[in-house]
Structure 1
Amino acid sequence: MKLNFLPAGRVRMKKGIYIPGADRSETIELPVSSALIRHKQGNVLFDTGCHPSVVDHAEERWGALAWVMTPIMSADEMLMPSLACLGVNPEDIDVVVNSHFHPDHCGCNQFFKKATFYAHAKEVEAANAAGAESSGYLRADWDCGQPTQMVEGEKDLFGDGSVVLIPLPGHTPGMLGALVNLDRDGPFLLASDSISLRQSLDTDTVPRNTWNADLLLQSYQEARRIEKSGATVICGHDDAQWQSLRKGNEGYE
């Protein structure tokens, strides 16, 4: 089994959303990523990044959200070119896992027409609730008509312990992480926005864009437990960690 981390966008946000005490004028640049897991039973994509149109037309796609989370990437820093560099076509993807339904994590859902999608039932409920768009759920991104398997608790995707979906709520009601157990490089916890920045986990800091602080702190505890068992925690938007990872063809096994 192989794990490849892929560029899927880049955004700029107010630093104070994540770092307490930051000046209101300070901003932070955040990588947006996807992970391709190549298993003998099928190809899994964990998150699909930003929709290609936001490179040049962010406000048309995202509305007011584009002022809060401003895209700053070029067209070649998106998911589809990243997959193409690996020789992977959209129809080669068998499973898409959406960690949650914010548009920087599910923006390319529409391109994977042959895939079965997995999402937590509580995330689907939240995205369908009245006023969901004001919470960052944009239907054009997350709801593309493909079959979706609802996850309730932990879900072993292939029944062999190699890829296990783990609920890590707090940032959103139905946040999912994925524990990927590799033979050579060991386990990786793809934490997505349950841990956007490593600093948040290390200091028990609750970002301002958190849906439920108590649940997020419980998810931090779960992530620490998994890390103590030997897993490498991959944060959702930590630029320092992103720069240190092998990306594209230079994957993990």
Structure 2
Amino acid sequence: MTYAIHPIVVGTKVFDKGMMTYQHDYGREYTIPIYSWYIQGGDKNIIIDTGEMHPIQSEAREKAIQGSIFTFEQGLARFGLTPEDIDVVIHTHLHNDHCENDSKCTNAVFYCHSRELETVHNPHPLDYRYLEDFIEDIEENGQIQTVVDGQEILPDIRVMHTPVHTEGGLTVWIQTKHGLAAITGFCVIEENFFPPPQIRGLEMEVIPPGTVVNTYHAYDIMQRVKEQADILIPLHEPKFASVEQIP
């Protein structure tokens, strides 16, 4: 079975670019899109992450990412869907900007790594991006299932435990008509995988994210993902904001 991947921008963040590129490009303002990815194919309505509940929809933000910003409902409506129509949600991780709309998907089964579920309830002070309020409803409703490394969620959709940005990060591998796509389980842009010449000159093949669990492990995990993917989809790469479908 093959799938098509549809990026839906459901939020943005404006911050120092060094938040994305470890030890590189600090002091430069940078805007990233926050995506919910609609996976089309098969008999299930599948999304990866649910994004922000109240995204800033401004001309300046849209100009910065060169694409439109939608509410969760608006984004799904482009495909004739409502949140109640979603059958499966796979979470790359549970930082709040990736799960704020979870409670709207009342009929969905949610998949995440057990370490991520533990952390959202008891985060380290450095992990201020977790907010358990956004998953309490689905947890109380018994909608969450935890997964293990390599588990196949649906035919030709599996997850890989990639603790790069968070302890329970999951990279989602999806079979498409043009090969195996990887939606990274960590917050990076394309430059993290394809560094500029001045970084490659330091013999660095990838740049870990600015927020990282273990920099050395992150580097090695990113290398493995890069090598295995036919289609590499960094979780916050701006160029996908203007793309209707991958591949």
- TM-score, structure 2 as length reference: 0.81
Per-residue displacement from partner, 1:124-144 (whole Å, max 9, x unpaired)?
A: 111122546843111122333
CA drift at 1:110: 1.2
Per-residue displacement from partner, 1:154-193 (whole Å, max 9, x unpaired)?
A: 11112x3x211111111000001111102x3332111142
Structure 2 equivalent of residue 208 of structure 1: 210
Tell me how far apart the structure 2 counterparts of residues 190 and 216 of structure 1 sit (CA, whole Å).
16
Q: 1:218 to 1:84 in 2, by over 3 A?
A: same
Larger fraction in helix: 1
Amino acid at match of 2:30: I
Structure 1 equivalent of residue 25 of structure 2: 22
2:148 is aligned with 1:152: yes
Structure 2 equivalent of residue 93 of structure 1: 86
Q: 1:23 to 1:224 in 2, by over 3 A?
A: closer
CA drift at 1:45: 0.7
Amino acid at match of 1:17: M
Give the 5 Å matches for 1:1-253. Answer: 1-19=3-21, 20-24=23-27, 26-52=28-54, 55=56, 72=61, 77-129=70-122, 131=124, 134-145=127-138, 146=141, 147-158=143-154, 160=155, 162-182=156-176, 184-193=177-186, 196-203=188-195, 204-227=206-229, 231-239=230-238, 241-243=239-241, 246-247=243-244, 251-252=245-246
Question: Which residues of structure 1 form unaligned runs of 5+?
Answer: 57-70
CA drift at 1:208: 2.6
CA drift at 1:123: 0.8
CA drift at 1:32: 0.9
Tell me how far apart the structure 2 counterparts of residues 113 and 178 of structure 1 sit (CA, whole Å).
22
Identify the range of structure 1 (200-209 vs 42-51) with the bigger mean alpha-carbon deviation: 200-209
- Root-mean-square deviation (CA, aligned residues, Å) is 2.6
Structure 1 equivalent of residue 198 of structure 2: none
CA drift at 1:33: 0.9
Contact 1:100 1:172 in 2 (8 A): yes
User: What stretches of structure 1 move > 4 A for 4+ residues in a row?
Assistant: 71-76, 130-134
Tell me how far apart the structure 2 counterparts of residues 111 and 92 of structure 1 sit (CA, whole Å).
10
Contact 2:8 2:75 in 1 (8 A): yes
Question: Which residues of structure 2 form unaligned runs of 5+?
Answer: 196-205
Q: 1:126 to 1:242 in 2, by over 3 A?
A: same
Structure 2 equivalent of residue 59 of structure 1: none
Per-residue displacement from partner, 1:196-241 (whole Å, max 9, x unpaired)?
A: 11222234222331122133112212212212xxx111011121x3
Amino acid at match of 1:29: T
Structure 1 equivalent of residue 202 of structure 2: none
Q: 1:132 to 1:83 in 2, by over 3 A?
A: farther
Tell me how far apart the structure 1 counterparts of residues 14 and 113 of structure 2 sit (CA, whole Å).
27
